Amino acid sequence: MEQGLSGTIGVVVVAAGRGERAGASVEGPKQYRRIGGRPVIWHTLKAFLDWPKSGPIAVVIHPDDRALLDQAVADLPAREELIIVTGGATRQASVLNGLRALQGHGVNYVMIQDGVRPFVNGDLLERVAAGLAAGHVAILPAVPVSDTIKRADASGVITATVPRHDLHAAQTPQSFFYDTILGAHERAAEEKAMAFTDDASIAEWAGIPVHLVEGSIDNVKLTVQRDIAMADEKLKGLALPDVRTGNGYDVHQLEAGDGVTLCGIFIPHDQKLKGHSDADVALHALTDALLATCGAGDIGDHFPPSDMRWKGAPSRIFLEHAARIVQAAGGTIMNADISLIAEAPKIGPHRQAMREKLAEILDISLDRCSVKATTNETIGFVGRREGIAAIATATVVYRGA
């Protein structure tokens, strides 16, 4: 039966409906509502634009929606090749306008797709194309009905249970030999047979055999508000997490004194750290690391040393400020890691208290806070006890668009 595809597959995407069952939205009718951060119709068109066998694509829209469509497709590749057509009062009338718009474009086959089925995918398109390639004039992707189907009378009393073994839920793209379906649609319009809800029904009416291929349970039509909300949740769940890492480094000189503050913990010592604030080199490095995860500059931009307000200030206020900036940008702090490089005092006995302080300041769990320390093996400025250095790494997950 395999004959192979000989010619061009045109596409009609119908999107001229008003989406009354889904209800009104500031974004416009349902095909322009955003799911996963993009308009529904963007996803539908992308599937066809990404499929290498797609030929010319006619997009059928309502006359009021031109600006919405232009905005929705602005970042799609090859969008300038879309043929934009005005739809009619019914889906059937809109499809006919789309079919007519493909005349003169050398189309041999046509796939007719609801704009509001955004989960159509390449595998499904291949199955449908294989049906056409096998020589079938009309192809209907469908899934077997899985609920028990009841018939009821007007008062809501069940009158029958309908056997479901031969029932199938129709999907799109319903696909045809182009001249055949255009002819059937034209004849239906001439004969004012205008109550068809899909194109396979028109083919059936015209006596054209319609061949089933396996649809996709993901290929749902977004009909009511809940369908749109669920599609949005699904795409957000699939979105790649926006994980960012920032690093920070700081050094402060040591001078004679009575102790140092590191990670917010005071450690008695025969030296102190020199600095404008309390000179907590560890918290300064971590502040820079957090700011780096959202491109918010560094600690000096937010707290200039020239500003007398920060003289002697506890460095936790710098870290809290950076954490608020991260939060305002949609970030959740996942991990904070500090390495201290100091010859003395010994950090080990204070590590736990330091981790607890970080967890308290950042309001995250203890297992997400790490403090490590090393000496500099007596070499360099650290080895000579002239200063203490700190390196910090912050990991933050940001909410997607």
Ligand X SMILES: Nc1ccn([C@@H]2O[C@H](COP(=O)(O)OP(=O)(O)OP(=O)(O)O)[C@@H](O)[C@H]2O)c(=O)n1
Alpha-carbon dihedral 19, 21, 24, 30, rounded to 10 degrees:
-40
Query: Interface with ligand X by CB under 6 A: which range of 9-17, 146-154, 181-189, 384-392?
Result: 9-17
**What does the alpha-carbon distance between residue 22 and residue 375 come to, in Å, rounded to a whole number?**
65
111 is a contact residue toward ligand X (CB under 6 A): no
Q: Which of 60, 68, 107, 283 is the binder for ligand X (CB under 6 A)?
A: 60
**What does the alpha-carbon distance between residue 310 and residue 287 come to, in Å, rounded to a whole number?**
15
Residue 9 counted as an annotated binding residue: no
Q: Which of 43, 91, 272, 351 is the binder for ligand X (CB under 6 A)?
A: 91
100 is a contact residue toward ligand X (CB under 6 A): no
The DSSP output letter for 97 is H
Angle in degrees, 0-180, between the axes of helices 40-50 and 66-73, rounded to the nearest 10: 60
The H or E element that residue 213 is part of is: strand 210-214
12 is a contact residue toward ligand X (CB under 6 A): no
- Convert residues 214-233 into a mask of x (bound to ligand X by CB under 6 A) and - (unbound): -------x-x----------
Count Cα atoms within 13 angstroms, Cβ side, for 308: 0
Residue 11 counted as an annotated binding residue: no
Residue 276 counted as an annotated binding residue: yes
Residue 165 counted as an annotated binding residue: no
Strands 34-35 and 8-15: unpaired
Task: Pick the closest to residue 112 from 168, 39, 40, 185 (CA basis).
Answer: 185
Q: Which of 2, 4, 20, 190 is the binder for ligand X (CB under 6 A)?
A: 20
Q: Do the Cβ atoms of 344 and 312 come closer than 8 Å?
A: no
87 is a contact residue toward ligand X (CB under 6 A): yes
Three-state DSSP state, 54: strand
Whole-number minimum distance, CB 333 to ligand LQXTBERG, in Å? 45
The DSSP output letter for 88 is -
Of 109 and 196, which has the nearer Cβ to ligand LQXTBERG? Answer: 196
Q: Would you tell me which residues interact with ligand LQXTBERG (CB under 6 A)?
A: 91, 114, 170-172, 197-198, 221, 223
Report the interface residues with ligand X, using CB under 6 A.
14-21, 31, 60, 87-91, 94, 114-116, 221, 223
Binding-site positions read 250-252, 276-277, 284, 298-300, 374-377, 381, 384
